[in-house]
Every structure is written in structure tokens, then in C-alpha cells.
Structure 1
Amino acid sequence: MEKAAELLESTNMKVIDIAIRVGYENQGKFAKVFSNLYGVPPLEFRRLSK
């Protein structure tokens, strides 16, 4: 998930592409796990990191 957070902060990659890159084929599952770890969904994390 650290790599996913890094990619969300530093690229404009789509969330599904980031999910696949870090080993998730299901974007919903990725978003749930990410949200549990970081307290916000991936797109919100990206918005807050700008």
C-alpha cells in the first residue's frame, strides 16, 4: 500500500491501474483495504496530497 500511496501522490495514473500494479485485480477490494489503512479512499487521498 505504500507504493500505491506514492503513485497516487506522484502520478495521474487511474486508481484501477494503481490497484493492478500493486497486486489487486478488483478496484473495490483495493479501495477498501486502502481506506482501512489510510482512513480515506484512494481518490480522496490523492486530492488531499496535492
Structure 2
Amino acid sequence: MPRPRGVKGCGDITCVPAVETGLIYMVMVIDLFSGCLIGWSIADHHRADS
């Protein structure tokens, strides 16, 4: 699906309780024009680097 110029996105970080690690952080980025998921990531830390 082609994207228009000036695409705007929205992101969210959610903490999910996990039995083994305590917390898992889930990050999602959504395209506000189409409502489609652009990307996501899951990690056991809340650092900017992966």
C-alpha cells in the first residue's frame, strides 16, 4: 500500500506482567492515515537502544 507524503504516526509503550521476567515492554507504532501497524517490538528492558 503506497503511503502519502507527510505520514504521521502514533506510538505506545505498554508494560505487560510476565511470570519469568517481571515485566515485558511492548512498543507499537501505528500509521494515523491508514490505521495500519507500521512496526512493533517486545523487550525485557526499557532502554532506547535494542
Q: TM > 0.5 between the two?
A: no
TM-score normalised by length of structure 1: 0.19
TM-score normalised by length of structure 2: 0.19
Report which of the two structures shows the higher radius of gyration computed on alpha carbons.
Answer: 2
Q: Which has the higher helix share?
A: 1
Bigger relative CO (Cα 8 Å, ≥ 6 apart) = 1
